[in-house]
Structure 1
Amino acid sequence: MTRKNGSARRAVLAGAAAALLLPGAVRAQAWPSRTITLVVPFAPGGGTDTFARPFAAKLSQELGQQVVIDNRAGAGGTVGAAIVAKAKPDGYTFLLGSVHHAVAVTAYKQLQYDLQKDLVPVTSVASVPDVLVIYPGIPAKTLQEFIAYCKANPGKTNFGSVGLGTTRHLAGEIFNAKTGTTMTHVPYKGSGPATAALISGEVTAVFEGLGSAAPYIRSGKARALAVFSAERSPAFPDIPTAAEAGLAGFESLSWYGLWAPAGTDAAIVSAMQAAVEKAFAAADLKKVWLEQGAAPGGAPTVRFAAFVTEEIGKWGKVVRDGNITIE
């Protein structure tokens, strides 16, 4: 075989190898060619919405196609997750899920989807500490004063959450167990309705993500008593940590992430992760997250997937230890 013929043969083989990869590559290059739907599995105006809307706007700029929000509330976020799990895996439907979905894996007796089989982790979106906020009409200015108030009013205090089996629900149950209080749980269909109930005095307290609670804390419509993180939030340096307020060993963080239906082309998942990472490199989106006391997202897909698996295990233990089961 001549050198010329050998070179030609290698070129043909290289072309054939490239052709094997071509379908996925072509789909990734053509994507996105139309509007992308971002399913937010909670009611409008809640914690996820706080991040979803500026995130979707920035992502639209990065992708060159509109990213629209579709709020599908219900059952602690599992209704919306089921919708995405059953959606066509063409790269045009994504779930903006949260830590609540990691909890639901163990907490719910039956789910209409399998988080680890029917959905594919894409990347992180935000991480923010939870905060205990109370109705400002309650005569308690500190966490210890609030605990004393609850004990002095057994059966008359309650706490709202974004739904049964969510981390906010579990945070309230853990709080009751650690402090000896007996607040009654009142589930809602998202942070928005739960916060509205707090502001109106319908519920005494709410365990909420700092991001969604931020405007109500700043306006004085809700009183923040403690953040459940190891350190104070730079966005709210005056709010003590739970440990500083006298309740050690209690941390609760809310995080949000992006999932795609199982079967979505790996090249599209990779392209979406890259777009999200680029979006968070922009100063304007970073500023919005900082104002909410949140850490930005954009983590590599492999790292986010490992994190989700770890969270499923961590919250699964909390659910089993608390003997919590939701039909």
Structure 2
Amino acid sequence: MKTSPSISAMRGVTLAAIVALGAALSSQAFAQTAQSYPDRRITFVVPYAPGGATDVTARLLAQKLQESWKQTVTVENKPGAGGVIGNDFAAKAPGDGYTVLVAITQIIQAPSLMSKLPYDAFKDLAPVTQVAISPIVLVVPEAQPMKSVKELIDLAKASPGKYPYGTFGNATTSHLYGELLKKNTGIDMTHVPYRGAAPLLNDLLGNQVTAAFLDFTTAGPQLEAGKIRPLAVGGEKRKPKLPNVQTMAELGYPGFEAEGWVGVFVPAATPKDIVNKLSAELGRIIKSPEGTAGLQAVNLVPVGDSPESFEKSLRRDFDRWATVAKTAGVKGE
């Protein structure tokens, strides 16, 4: 005589079937979501005020993405706390691909500079693509006599405290580089922080500060005009638009290999298919003739890589900036 399956066994089979069906439906739903994405407005969040390199980059990408996907793409500026407010807003947004963060290097520098952040850049955000490198140039006003980094260091050593250096803010790349140079060479230069690169540039042009590590986007036009003089660039390689300007490492000053950049992120819960779709389209835009020209026009070096490649860069740069911050002794406000 056959024994009927027990009720518990039948329940086990039924539960397994439900779980399997749920997984299949979930997978199908994700695929459909990615296939139909986007079907409404996308918002690009910029954690800085309008007009800077990050904002200009976001608006270029938003315009081109809107043209290719035939969906409205808006740019929303959420400045404050050195980028933390905008970053936090994006990190806590729904993971549906409709809130996109356009951030800069600060997002992975901050953990080494601030005691507490309301988000974790690696856990709460997913990398989409590195848009471009933002080169940093060590510059001096035209009126200053020094023609090399060595001459700047020699003058600073000869007159401790006499030569102030400017930055575009406390605990920024500019400040980290400046304090690292002081630490590694033993010079005494007074730090003068500004509220952004534009006012720093104005005082450089007026010879109010002796030197500054300035982003190439801001410095470019005045370098071309001969109003400020480049002494060196940061990063591992020389820059295409400044081929004769050596890197700090080439000149014998290591530790300046980490660079500034502009990158795109989405909330961590965003389905991988959507992340890949957004990354592929932004990469295409960045590498297109119009995208490349637009970024180069503001002296950015286009990249447009995959999420996986960008994540590797993030982890490498996180370690690099942590080392720089520790060596330079810089802390955020």
Counterpart CA distance in 2 for 1:93 and 1:216 is 36
1:220 aligns with 2:209: no
Does 2:201 correspond to 1:177?
Answer: no
Matches within 5 A, 1:105-120: 105-120=111-126
Counterpart pick for 1:99 among 81, 105, 125: 105
CA distance 1:64–1:206, shift in 2 (3 Å): farther
Q: Hey, what does 1:38 align to over in structure 2?
A: 44
Question: Residues of 1 paired with 2:126 and 2:39: CA distance?
Answer: 21
Q: Is 1:284 aligned to residue 293 of structure 2?
A: no
2: distance between equivalents of 1:129 and 1:170? 14
Specify the code of the residue in structure 2 equivalent to 1:235: K
Which letter maps to 1:64? K
1:75 is matched with which residue: 74, 81, 85? 81
Name the stretch that deviates more: 160-169 or 255-264. Answer: 160-169
Q: Percent identity?
A: 38
Q: Which residue matches 2:63? A: 57
Distance in 1 between residues matched to 2:85 and 2:211, nearest whole Å? 25
Moved more, 31-40 or 166-175: 31-40
Q: Distance in 1 between matches of 2:205 and 2:60?
A: 24
1:254-281 superposed Cα distances (whole Å, 9 cap, x missing partner): 1221111232233322221111111123
Matches of 1:50 and 1:147 in 2, distance apart? 35
Structure 2 CA distance, aligned partners of 1:180 and 1:143?
Answer: 14
Shift of 1:16: 9.0
Q: Within 1, Cα distance between the matches of 2:94 and 2:202?
A: 35
Aligned to 1:146: 152
Offset, 1:299: 1.4
Aligned residues, how many?
314
Greater displacement, 194-203 / 30-39: 194-203
Compute the displacement of 1:145 (Å): 2.9
1:298 pairs with 304, 315, 323, which one? 304
Give the letter aligned to residue 197 of structure 2: S
Cross-structure match for 2:6: none
The Cα offsets for residues 108-155 of structure 1, whole Å up to 9 and x where unpaired, read as 111122112222211111124321122333233333333334344433
CA contact (8 A) 2:276 2:307 kept: yes
Select between 124-133 and 195-204 the one with higher mean Cα deviation: 195-204
Query: Any gaps of 5 or more consecutive residues in structure 2?
Result: 1-20
- Structure 1 partner of 2:265: 259
Code of the residue aligned with 2:247 in structure 1: it is: T
Q: CA deviation at 1:35?
A: 3.3
Distance 1:60 1:37 in 2: 11
Structure 1, unaligned runs of 5 or more: 1-14
Aligned to 1:5: none
In 2: Cα distance, 1:131 partner to 1:34 partner:
41
Quick one: which amino acid aligns to residue 263 of structure 2? G
- Aligned-pair distance for 1:202? 4.5
User: Matched residues in 2 for 1:217 and 1:162: separation?
Assistant: 17
**For 1:86 and 1:244, how far apart are their aligned partners in 2?**
42
CA separation of 1:129 and 1:69: change in aligned 2, threshold 3 A: same
Partner of 1:12: none
Q: Which residue of 2 aligns with 1:204?
A: 210
Secondary structure of 1:280's aligned partner:
helix
Supply the AA of the counterpart residue of 1:231.
K
- The equivalent of 1:307 in structure 2 is 313
Does structure 1 conserve the Cα–Cα contact (< 8 Å) formed by 2:287 and 2:302?
no
Segment drifting more, 75-84 vs 155-164: 155-164
- The alpha carbon displacement at 1:61 in A equals 2.4
The structure-2 alpha-carbon separation of the partners of 1:51 and 1:224, relative to structure 1 and needing over 3 Å to count, comes to farther
Q: Aligned partners of 1:143 and 1:156: how far apart in 2? A: 16
Query: Over aligned residue pairs, what C-alpha RMSD do you find?
Result: 2.9
Partner of 2:18: none
Matched, 1:269 2:252: no
1:156–1:41 Cα change, 3 Å: farther
Residue 320 of structure 1 is matched in structure 2 by 326
CA distance in 1, matches of 2:75, 2:212: 25
Q: Indicate if the aligned counterparts of 1:62 and 1:279 stay in contact, CA closer than 8 A.
A: no
